[in-house]
Chains A and B, each alone.
Chain A
C-alpha cells in the first residue's frame, strides 16, 4: 500500500467512468450480509486532492462537524481513498487493527491523508483525537 499526505490540488478522473461501478457495488451491497449500515454513497469532489496515478480510482471522505462523511464507504480494491479535514479542529485517521495501513498524522484544516487498500475486507477506523468519530471502508 502506498500513502500520501499533501495539500496540493490536481485534476481528477471523470465521474462517468466510475458511476456504473458504484451502481454495481451498491446493488451487491443490498444483498450482502456484510453490513446493516446505511446504503453507502460514494462521491468524488474537485477540491484539494493529491495527484492520483493515471487511471487510479479515487474516493473521498471528508471530516466535518466531527464526523466522517460518508461514514461507510464501499469501494473496489485498489481505489485511492482520500480523507480531507474540513473542520477547524485537527483530526487523525487510524485503522483499528494493530497492523492497519490507515494511519495518518494529525491533519489540520484542509490537510489530507490518502491510502490505497488492495485487499477486500471491512476496515474500521476512527479519529484518535475524537474517538467517537468512527467510519468504515468496505473494499470489494
Chain B
C-alpha cells in the first residue's frame, strides 16, 4: 500500500482513499455538484474534486420503499429498506435527516406503515415524509397523514435547516383520468406565499413523490400543474427538486433548477419506453441491490455547491 495524501484524514475524519472507495459504489461513478445553480460533473477518480465533498451539512433521500410488496421483483422490501438504513449509518458525512419521497407502503395498510416507520427510526435521524399514490389508497390517505403529517390544517409543509429552505409537496391526491400528478390550487397558493419573501440567494430543496417535470408522460411520469410551482422557484439561484415514483435516477437541468428522481429501496422499474408498462422489473437475484439505492445531498456553506450523490445498496 503506498502512502500518499489520499491516506491523510480530511475534515470529517475520513481519508480521500476511503471516500473514493465508498464512492465507487455509486451507480455511475459521477457526482453532480451545483455551483450557483449550474451543475457540473466530475468523475470520482478526480481526487481534488472529491475533496470538495467535505461539507457542513448533508441529508439523505430514500424513496419508494413499498413495504408490503411481495412479488418476484423483490419478495423482501423490508430487508432492502433495512440495508439502506444500515448504509445511511455508515455514510462518512453524517446526514442531518432523511427525506422519504413517498410510496412508503405498498397498499396503505397500517402494518406496512408500522414496519416502514420502525425501520426508518432505527437510523436515529429525523425523517420527513411526503406520500406516494400507494400511501393514499384509503380514505384520501388519512392513515398516512395522521401518522406522518406535520400540520393539522394542511398536508404540505416547509422548514429551514443549514441555511437551506426545504419544501415538501403532495402531488398524488385527487388525480384525474388521463392525468399525471397534481398539486392543486390550494397548495400552489400556499407555495406562492411561502416563497414570496425569501431571498433569491436561499438554496431551495423541493421534494415530492411524482416528478415535477415531464420525465415520461406516457407513463404518467409528470405533474399536470407543475408549471405554476416552477414559476415560483425561478427567482432563486439554486433549486434542487427531489422526486421518486419512477424507481430509477432520471435528471434534468433547466437554468437554476435541477430535477432528480431517485432509485427505490424496493424494486427497479424499466427505463422510459423500454417495456410495455412501468411495472416492477425483475432482475437476477444477485443484481437486485445494485439497482436499489439512496441519495446523499451535501451543502457546503459559503461555497454554494449542492452535491448530489446516488449510492446503490450493493
Give the A-B contact count at a CB cut-off of 8 A: 66
Within 8 Å by CB of A108, from B107, B179, B275, lies B107
The distance from the CB of A123 to the nearest CB of chain B, in whole angstroms, is 12
Query: Which residue from chain A places its CB closest to the CB of B173 in the assembled complex?
Result: A128
- Whether A132 touches B72, Cβ cut-off 8 Å, given contacts A66-B277, A92-B137, is no
Range class of the B interface residue count = 20 to 34
Partner of B177, one of A65, A88, A96, A105: A96
Residue pair B219, A132 in contact (C-beta under 8 Å): yes
B134 touches A129 (CB 8 A): yes
CB distance A90 to B73 under 8 Å? no
A134 within 8 A of B: yes
Q: Is the CB–CB distance between B277 and A131 below 8 Å?
A: no
Which chain B residues border A106 with CB–CB below 8 Å?
Answer: 107-108, 137-138
Give the contacts of B65-115 with A (CB-CB under 8 A).
71-73, 106-108
**Are A132 and B73 in touch, CB under 8 angstroms?**
no
A98 to chain B, nearest CB (A): 12
Separation of A125 and B176 alpha carbons in the complex (Å) = 10
Max count, chain B CB within 10 A of own CB: residue among A90, A108, A132 = A132
Q: Which residues of B contact A126 (CB under 8 A)?
A: 176-178
Asked if B218 is an interface residue, CB under 8 A from chain A, the answer is: yes
**Are A65's CB and B277's CB within 8 A?**
yes
A130 at the interface (CB under 8 A from B): yes
Q: Are B179 and A131 in contact (CB under 8 A)?
A: yes
Q: State whether the Cβ of B175 lies closer than 8 Å to any Cβ in chain A.
A: yes
Q: Decide if B279 is an interface residue (CB 8 Å cutoff).
A: yes
> Considering the complex, which residues of chain A in the window 47-76 have a beta carbon less than 8 Å from any beta carbon of chain B?
65-67
Cα distance, A23 to B108, chains bound together (Å): 43
Question: Which of B71, B177, B217 has the largest number of chain A CB atoms within 10 A?
Answer: B177
In the complex, whether B133 has a CB less than 8 A from a CB of chain A is yes
* B261-288 near A? 1/0 per residue, CB < 8 Å: 0000000000000011111100000000
Interface residues of A in 82-140 (CB under 8 A from B): 87-90, 92, 96, 105-106, 108-109, 124-126, 128-132, 134
Q: A65 CA to B176 CA in the complex, in Å?
A: 20
A67 B277 Cβ-Cβ under 8 A: yes
Question: Are A128 and B175 closer than 8 Å at their CB atoms?
Answer: yes
Instruction: From the candidates B108, B180, B278, name the one contacting A131 in the complex (CB within 8 A).
Output: B180
Are B133 and A65 neighbours in the complex by a CB distance under 8 Å? no
CB distance from B247 to the nearest CB of A (A): 11
Q: A90-B137, A124-B177 are in contact. List 6 more A-B contacts (CB 8 A).
A: A106-B137, A109-B71, A131-B176, A132-B217, A132-B218, A134-B178
List the 8 closest A-B pairs by CB distance, nearest first. Answer: A66-B277, A126-B177, A65-B276, A65-B277, A132-B220, A131-B175, A106-B137, A88-B71
